[in-house]
Structure 1
Amino acid sequence: MAVITRLFDINEKVLKLRENSTDELLSTGFKTLDNFYTVKPTGTTIIYGYPKMGKTEFLFQLLISLSLNYGKKHLIYSPESGSAAEIYSAIIHGLTGKTFDKRYHNYITEEEYFRVQPFVQDHFIVAEDTDEQGLNFDEYIKLVKNCKKDYKIATSTIDNWNDIEHESYSNVSDYLKRKLPKWNKLALTQNIHSFLICHAKNPIGLKNGELPKAPTPYEIDGGAAWLQKAYNMICINRDYIELNGDVQLGNEVDVIIQKVKPRIVGKTGICKLDYDWIRKCYSETIDGQIYYIESPYKESYKAPTKPSAAIQSAINYDAPF
């Protein structure tokens, strides 16, 4: 259903856009990234890339920053990340720099856990499946509305699109053209920012010695429909490094802004961040100085701790992602 709206009827709203159009934009916590992308309180963002690129960790860093700097509350539906306990532990890891894995020197203490527990309790709500069948799209919409009412959430997350139980369809593109606008409208009607993570198809047909390039939106199942219906679209892509004669994924990450809507949100382009997998934190480098998202729950440090080549070869380098 649609209604006719005339300019004189909404004159105050239009003037408010003129006066405050950029005032409401929220920082990502990274100055270099803010040059390309900021978070509009009401809107949607799709984050995509190949598997093991750090998409979930990137999003969790954004959510942590929004909570620390603006007090925002978040609903997270991420079956791919594991149980609710595992998701909360990942959030705490990114917030404190302390792992729940006792094999590492930054193993979190009970004191550190209980210190950060109230903050996570107040700002993060995790939805967990009760059986082998996940949420369908209508159930997810109902969940978001309930959490907006009960917890005053500012964002919602689906990680990832394939974990939603979709109704049968014959054409992926046509299905997305029906569902993604509904997802966009949910954010508008509930006055929240909705994040959605999806996977690009693994690269095939590479020539000998050729490394995969960052995927375009057309490499997601459904192709052009994602780019057409997205408000904001970001690709997360890790660079490759040579380690002990082998080519492996490194910790330098290209954050590729493929689309921004509305234009006040930012512009297309590439921002480079580094991922400190020990502390589960992203960092940026400005004039030779390394900066992290500031957190009162994180010990002070100036530079990321990167393992030596010997340690790298002794562990699963991709495991933290």
Structure 2
Amino acid sequence: METIMSLATMNVYDITADKHGENQMPCPECSPNRRKKNTKCFSYNTEKEIGFCNHCEARFVKHNPYEKKEYIKPVFEFQNFTKLSDKVVKWFEGRGISQRTLLSMKISEKREYMPQTEKEENCIVFPFFKNAELINLKFRDGRKNFKLSSGAELIWFNYDAILQHEEIIICEGEIDALSFIQAGFDNVISVPNGANIGKMEYFDSSFEDLNKVKTFVIAVDNDLKGIELKQDLIRRLGMEKCKTASFKQFKDANELLVSEGKESIQNAVKTAKLIKLPHIYSVDDFRNELNDYFENGMPQGKTLGIPELDKIIRWQTGRFGVATGIPGMGKSEFLDFVYCRLNILYKWPIGYYSPESMPLQLHFSKIFPKFVGKEYKKGVVNDNEKYTGEEYINKNVFWVNPPVDMEIDEILSRFEYLVKAKGCKAFIIDPFNRIEQTANHADNERLFIKKNLVKMSNFTKRTDSLLFLIAHPTKMQKDKGIYKIPGPYDISGSADFWNMLDYTLTVHRIQKEDGQFNSFGVVIVQKAKINKTMGETGTWPYWYNINNGRYITDHENGQQKQWDNSNWITNEEYYPPEESEFKIQPLTLNEAFGDDFAELPY
């Protein structure tokens, strides 16, 4: 049985189709209303998931609804826990976990086919309950391979603890959760799929329940992946609600339990530290990050895989930038391209406040080609590309779209929601002059600008997000019909656009002698606050691909252009390399922070 949707009427139908090849049958759309109801005018290809009717010319795709997904609940009979095999019981006892704890959490065992080994294995079974109802099962074999029930909803392990406690401990695996329970803490939950920050849909379904919890103790693994997970959890849950637990020299809670006993687990929870107010730190607060810095140097901005551009600008979260340029030069287009690429490479969901890009379907039609490589237009993309592109953007791009302009506090409150609910890490406000002025700043433009820039900068640091602002310059004069290239000091209203931001750049298209614009130009990066990690600044000559809104380097030596028209969503080569090509060398204070610190007495 296949469920398909007509792209003509958006109606949904169930059809019977073979798993392979073309299936010929009456059209579910038009045949019921025809005299020859049994004529096989409709063809559906199960493998390609597309169909076409030769009579009414309706096109169909497999129906994957955008609405709340219907999950499959596993059917499982829990075994008598007194009959757990001695091998399983002894293994858990070796990890410091008693049979009483296994019984309380309904841990079982079962032979199960594991795709990693392509055969049945003896597996430990971890059940996932919500409101006392079985929602999912995780099977783990002796080689640490695991799988979850097919089609089941992804939820926190021990979800019901969220509903019963005001303080919740969050750890990175089921065995760590059992370790806390063994030590007397039943207010513990675990992420269901490890430190996989790119797949955290279990946050969406639990957002309202998590909001009711007063305090979270973050107790994830003491390694690089665990640090990344901890930072993302704090971003989503809010630092004011979070404490962090330390396992000293041990990797995780279970290692601590095995080595030092449950008293050490209890002490780790008891001594968990609040996320301190900004600007108040001791070495203990960043010791793990300090060790990483000692081993690997300063953290780097993300690269786009365009060497000439990556040299002059690299993109970091916790930073705030501005892009300027004469109207029509492509400021929004360039940042859309950058953000789409950051999303593909590093899984950064995107948030927009962009009144000038309305209506939403217009802005969508500009973003779609950057992901898919083709214009969003009938006859250019096929049904499958259209459908998968829409679904991908639906999950990765979000708009704040009020009927009237918003004040900055309203915009940032919506952005903060997107951080917590959707995991957004990259934001654009386009343009600055569409931020509504507050009444008390109406007569003082410079004060209005400064207050807004401070709030936006604080937002990026508080949420560890990247925010770019698009700001128009003052009216630029022409020289024989040719505009001069504006810089950040040319932005209307205030020099603070240069002084207060981490990045400043200008997007400029080269003009012909008659004043018309070419499809090539330059991006000029005037400021990247920490040069060795955020870019060296400079000029990047580009060509603009009018077919999909992407950019490539303009090689002035006449090298043939290598246009990129591939589908980024399905092209695995666009996933980030394990190691960046940029190696960071130790810096002096002036190299790191610039001349602003030249007169400090150390």
Superposition TM-score, scaled by structure 1 size? 0.81
Partner of 2:308: 32
* 1:280 Cα deviation after fit: 1.8
Equivalent position to 1:235, from 506, 521, 531:
506
Checking the alignment, whether the CA contact within 8 Å between 1:217 and 1:224 is kept in structure 2 is yes
Is 1:260 equivalent to 2:260 in the alignment? no
Q: In structure 2, give the amino acid aligned to 1:267.
A: E
Hey, what's the Cα distance between the residues in 2 that align with 1:227 and 1:121? 35
Letter in 2 for 1:223: S
Does the 8 Å contact 1:30/1:293 carry over to 2? no
Q: Distance in 1 between matches of 2:312 and 2:481?
A: 29
- The aligned amino acid for 1:253 is G
Q: 1:180 aligns with which of 433, 437, 453?
A: 453
Which ranges in structure 2 are unaligned for 5 or more consecutive residues? 1-276, 572-602
Structure 1 stretch 4-13 or stretch 254-263: which is displaced more? 4-13
- The one-letter code sitting in structure 2 at the alignment partner of 1:259 is K
Deviates more, 1:32-41 or 1:259-268: 259-268
CA offsets, 1:220-272, max 9 Å, x none? 11231100011111110111114xxx320111121000111222101221111
CA contact under 8 A between 1:47 and 1:197: conserved in structure 2?
Answer: yes
Check conservation: 1:65, 1:293, Cα contact below 8 A: no
Shift of 1:216: 1.7
Q: Distance in 1 between matches of 2:565 and 2:455?
A: 35
1:272 to 522, 541, 544: 541
Q: Is residue 97–residue 298 contact of structure 1 (8 Å, CA) maintained in 2?
A: no
Q: What is aligned with 2:430? A: 159
Equivalent residue letter for 2:353: Y
2: CA distance, partners of 1:158 / 1:71: 20
Match of 1:107 in 2: 380
Are residue 91 (structure 1) and residue 359 (structure 2) matched?
no
Contact 2:376 2:386 in 1 (8 A): no
Q: Find the residue that maps to 2:312 and give its secondary structure.
A: coil
One-letter amino acid of the counterpart of residue 301, structure 2: L
Candidates 551, 569, 576, aligned match of 1:282? 551
Tell me, in whole angstroms, the C-alpha distance in 1 between the residues paired with 2:299 and 2:456.
25
Asked if 1:127 corresponds to 2:396, the answer is no
Q: Which residue of 2 aligns with 1:315?
A: none
Larger radius of gyration: 2
| CA apart distance, 1:86 | 1.6
Tell whether the 8 Å contact from 2:368 to 2:393 is kept in structure 1 after alignment: yes
Letter in structure 1 aligned against 2:505:
I
Deviation at 1:61, TM superposition (A): 0.6
The answer to whether the 8 Å contact 1:84/1:127 transfers is no
SS at match of 2:315: coil
Q: Which residue of 2 aligns with 1:195?
A: 468
Residues 66 and 22 (structure 1 numbering): CA distance in 2 closer, same or farther, change over 3 Å?
A: farther
1:78, distance to aligned residue in structure 2 (A) = 1.0
Q: 1:293 to 1:126 in 2, by over 3 A?
A: farther
Task: Provide closer, same or farther for how the CA distance between residues 294 and 38 of structure 1 changes in structure 2, counting only shifts above 3 A.
Answer: farther
Residues 267 and 173 (structure 1), Cα distance of their counterparts in 2 relative to 1, 3 Å cut = farther
Letter in 2 for 1:178: K
Q: Secondary structure at the match of 2:410?
A: helix
The answer (yes or no) to whether the contact 1:238–1:249 under 8 Å persists in 2 is yes
CA distance in 1 between partners of 2:423 and 2:570 (Å): 30
Mapped contact 1:32–1:284 kept (Cα < 8 A): yes
**Structure 1 residue 273: deviation in Å?**
0.9
Query: Matches of 1:70 and 1:3 in 2, distance apart?
Result: 28
State whether structure 2 residue 486 is matched by structure 1 residue 218. no
Closer/same/farther in 2, CA of residues 22 and 29 from structure 1, 3 Å limit = farther
Query: Which stretch of structure 1 is more off in the superposition, 140-149 or 164-173?
Result: 164-173
| Structure 2 CA distance for aligned equivalents of residues 23 and 226 of structure 1 | 25
> How far apart in 1 are the matches of 2:461 and 2:295?
21
1:114, CA displacement in angstroms? Answer: 1.0
Partner deviation per Cα, 1:124-153 (whole Å, 9 max, x = no partner): 112212x2x222111111101111111011
Deviation (angstroms), 1:94: 2.1
1:29–1:293: 8 Å Cα contact kept in structure 2? no
Structure 1 residues 64 and 189: CA distance shift in structure 2, 3 A: same
Match of 2:516 among 248, 265, 287: 248
Q: In 2 relative to 1, CA 77–15 (structure 1 residues): closer, same or farther, beyond 3 Å?
A: same
Q: How many residues are treated as equivalent by the alignment?
A: 290
SS in 1 for 2:322: strand
Contact 2:545-2:563 within 8 A present in 1 as well: no
Change (3 A) 1:17 1:196: farther
What CA distance in whole angstroms lies between the structure 2 residues aligned with 1:298 and 1:9? 38
> Identity, % of aligned pairs?
23
Q: State the AA in 2 paired with 1:28.
A: L
Q: Is the 8 A contact 1:273 1:283 kept in 2?
A: yes
Unmatched tracts of structure 1, length 5 or more: 301-321
Task: Assess if the C-alpha contact under 8 Å between 2:317 and 2:460 holds in 1.
Answer: no
Give the number of the structure with larger relative contact order, counting CA–CA contacts within 8 Å between residues 6 or more apart.
Answer: 1
Distance 2:552 2:419 in 1: 31
Contact persistence 2:481–2:515 (CA under 8 A): no
Partner of 1:63: 339
Taking the aligned partners of 1:125 and 1:97, their CA distance within structure 2 comes to 20
What is the TM-score normalised by the length of structure 2? Answer: 0.45
The alpha-carbon deviation at position 9 of structure 1 amounts to: 5.8
CA contact (8 A) 1:47 1:198 kept: yes
Range with greater deviation from structure 2 (268-277 or 7-16):
7-16
Aligned partners of 1:235 and 1:255 also within 8 Å: yes
Whether the aligned pair in 1 keeps the contact of 2:349 and 2:424 (CA below 8 Å) is yes
